[in-house]
C-alpha cells in the first residue's frame, strides 16, 4: 500500500529559543524541566509515522498531549521546529509559501471541531467556499457543493442557513465542505467532540460509510479512545507531545505498551474491538464419508469436543464427541455413520463480525463456523470468545500438556 503522508522526527517547541530546547530534549531532559528552566513549551517531540493511502490514522490523546499542534503542522498552519512532513514527495516543513498553497488547494482539506461555518452564507455557499478560493466558477462550484451535500445526506438543505440546522447537521456541512474540493488527505481535528453521544455515534458510522465509498486518506484527532478504536485503521496514542504507542485497535487493547495505555484500555468493551477472525482457529474437519472412529480420533488428537463435517467442500454439519461416543457404544460392531449424529443447525459468523455478536452463539456450546463465501475458513471455540471478552489469559490443553497464552 502506498504511503500518502509521512512524518519523520517532527518536533515543535514554542518560545524564543526553540533550538536550545530541542538540544535539551535530545540530551534527555523532560518537557517539564525545560519549561521550568527556560520557559520553552514543548508541543510535539520525535513524532514519526506513516499514513497509508485510503486509511484512517487516528491520533488520540488527552488535552495538552500535543495532538492538535501535530495536526496543524500537517497542513502548514504551524511550522515544525525540526523534522520532515511529506505529502507524496513534498515536504510541508520546508516548502515555499506558494508550494504550501498549492498543497492545500489540491491535496489537503481540514474539518474543524466547531464547524467554522459562515452564518450569513447558505449551506451550499459554505460548502463551496473552498472551491471559490480555488477560482472555480459559480455554476460549477454549486454543482460540486450539491454533490458533496448529497454524500452527507443534506442536499435538501442547500439553500438554508447554518442557524436553521442542528449541531449534527452543521458538522455534516463541515464534512461536506472538506469533501467538496475532492482532497487526497482529510485532516479532522476532534470534529465530533461537541456533539451529543447519539449524534456522535451516527457521525462516526457515517464517516466509515463514506470512507468505504470515497477511500480518502484521513488523519483524525480525538481525545476519546472508544472513538479511536471505532474509526482507526491504525491509532497513535500521545502523551506529553510524543507517541507512546502506535498500532491497530486490537494490538493496543491486547498488548498495551505501558501503564498509561493500560489505564486507557482497562474499561474498553473488547467485544467491539475484536472480531471472529481474531479468535478463529484453522478449521479441523472430517469428510462425511468417514466413520465415527476417524472423527473421534481427530477430536482426541486435537483435544476438541466437536468437529465440523464436510461433504466435499460444503459444510454438512457438526458432530460432538459425546454424541459420537454414545452412538459408537450403542451400535457396537455395526458401526456409526456420521450422518446419523450430524447436527445440521450449527452457529455461523463472518470473519468481520464483532465479538460481542458471538456471545449468544458461543452460549450454545458448539464451535462457531467462520464462513467466507459459503466456505469454512475458521472455527471459533466458545471458550476463546469468553476469554477474549474477559481479557484474561486462557489455558489451552495440547497433546503434550497444558500451555498458557494471552487471549489476543
Q: Is 265 or 234 the better-scoring residue by pLDDT?
A: 234
User: Is the pLDDT reported for residue 400 higher than 70?
Assistant: no
What pLDDT is stored for residue 373 in this prediction?
85
Mean pLDDT, rounded, for 29-43: 93
What pLDDT is stored for residue 392 in this prediction?
60
User: Is the pLDDT reported for residue 406 higher than 50?
Assistant: no
Q: Out of 165-179, 301-315, 364-378, 382-396, pick the least confident.
A: 382-396
- Provide the CATH number for the domain formed by 3-107+183-268 in this structure: 3.40.50.300
For residue 228, give the 3-state DSSP assignment: helix
What pLDDT is stored for residue 332 in this prediction?
66
Three-state SS for 159-197 is CCCHHHCCHHHHHHHHHHHHHHCCCCEEEEECCCCCCCH
pTM of the full structure: 0.83
CATH of 276-405, one of 3.40.50.620, 3.40.190.10, 3.10.580.10, 1.25.10.10: 3.10.580.10
Domain ranges within the chain, ordered by starting residue: 3-107+183-268, 276-405
Assign 125 a pLDDT band (cuts: 50, 70, 90): very high
What pLDDT is stored for residue 377 in this prediction?
95
Q: Is 1 or 35 the better-scoring residue by pLDDT?
A: 35
Q: Per the structure block, which three cell numbers stand in for 102?
A: 498549492
DSSP for 254-266, please give it: HS-SSHHHHHHHT
Tell me the per-residue pLDDT of 4-16, one tens digit each, with 9 for 90 and over. 999 999 999 999 9
Assign 305 a pLDDT band (cuts: 50, 70, 90): very high
Calpha distance 135→392 (Å, rounded): 58
Mean pLDDT, rounded, for 231-240: 95
Amino acid at each position: 500500500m502506498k504511503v500518502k503522508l509521512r512524518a519523520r522526527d517532527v518536533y515543535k517547541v514554542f518560545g524564543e529559543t526553540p533550538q536550545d530546547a530541542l538540544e535539551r530534549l535530545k540530551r534527555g531532559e523532560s518537557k517539564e524541566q525545560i519549561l521550568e528552566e527556560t520557559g520553552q513549551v514543548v508541543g510535539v517531540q520525535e513524532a514519526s509515522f506513516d499514513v497509508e493511502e485510503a486509511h484512517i490514522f487516528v491520533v488520540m490523546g488527552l488535552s495538552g498531549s500535543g495532538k492538535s499542534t501535530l495536526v496543524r503542522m500537517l497542513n502548514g498552519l504551524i511550522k515544525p521546529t525540526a523534522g520532515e512532513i511529506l505529502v507524496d514527495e513534498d515536504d510541508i516543513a520546508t516548502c515555499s509559501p506558494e508550494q504550501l498553497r498549492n498543497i492545500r488547494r489540491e491535496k489537503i482539506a481540514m474539518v474543524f471541531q466547531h464547524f467554522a461555518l459562515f452564518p450569513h452564507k447558505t449551506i451550499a455557499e459554505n460548502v463551496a467556499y473552498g472551491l471559490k478560493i480555488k477560482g472555480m466558477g459559480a455554476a460549477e462550484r454549486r454543482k460540486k457543493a450539491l454533490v458533496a451535500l448529497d454524500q452527507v445526506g443534506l442536499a435538501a438543505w442547500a439553500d438554508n442557513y447554518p442557524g436553521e440546522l442542528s449541531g449534527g447537521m452543521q458538522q455534516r456541512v463541515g464534512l461536506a465542505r472538506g469533501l467538496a474540493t475532492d482532497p487526497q488527505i482529510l485532516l479532522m481535528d476532534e470534529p465530533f467532540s461537541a456533539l451529543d453521544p447519539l449524534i456522535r455515534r451516527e457521525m462516526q458510522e457515517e464517516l466509515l460509510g463514506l470512507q468505504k465509498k470515497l477511500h480518502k486518506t484521513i488523519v483524525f484527532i480525538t481525545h476519546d479512545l472508544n472513538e479511536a478504536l471505532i474509526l482507526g485503521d491504525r491509532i497513535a496514542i500521545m502523551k506529553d507531545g510524543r507517541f507512546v504507542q502506535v498500532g491497530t485497535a486490537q494490538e493496543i487493547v491486547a498488548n498495551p505498551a505501558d501503564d498509561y495505555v493500560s489505564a486507557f484500555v482497562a474499561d474498553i468493551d473488547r467485544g467491539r474491538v475484536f472480531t471472529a477472525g481474531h479468535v478463529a482457529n484453522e478449521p479441523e474437519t472430517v469428510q462425511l464419508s468417514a466413520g465415527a472412529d476417524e472423527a473421534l480420533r481427530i477430536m482426541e488428537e486435537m483435544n476438541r469436543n466437536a468437529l465440523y463435517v464436510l461433504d466435499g467442500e460444503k459444510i454438512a454439519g457438526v458432530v460432538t464427541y459425546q454424541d459420537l461416543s454414545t452412538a459408537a457404544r450403542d451400535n457396537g460392531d455395526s458401526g456409526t455413520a456420521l450422518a446419523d449424529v450430524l447436527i445440521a443447525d450449527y452457529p455461523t459468523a463472518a470473519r468481520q463480525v464483532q465479538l460481542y455478536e458471538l456471545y449468544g452463539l458461543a452460549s450454545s456450546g458448539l464451535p462457531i463456523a467462520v464462513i467466507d463465501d459459503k466456505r469454512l475458513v475458521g472455527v471459533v471455540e466458545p471458550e476463546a470468545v469468553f476469554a477474549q471478552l474477559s481479557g484474561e489469559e486462557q489455558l489451552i490443553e495440547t497433546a503434550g500438556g497444558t500451555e498458557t497464552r494471552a487471549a489476543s
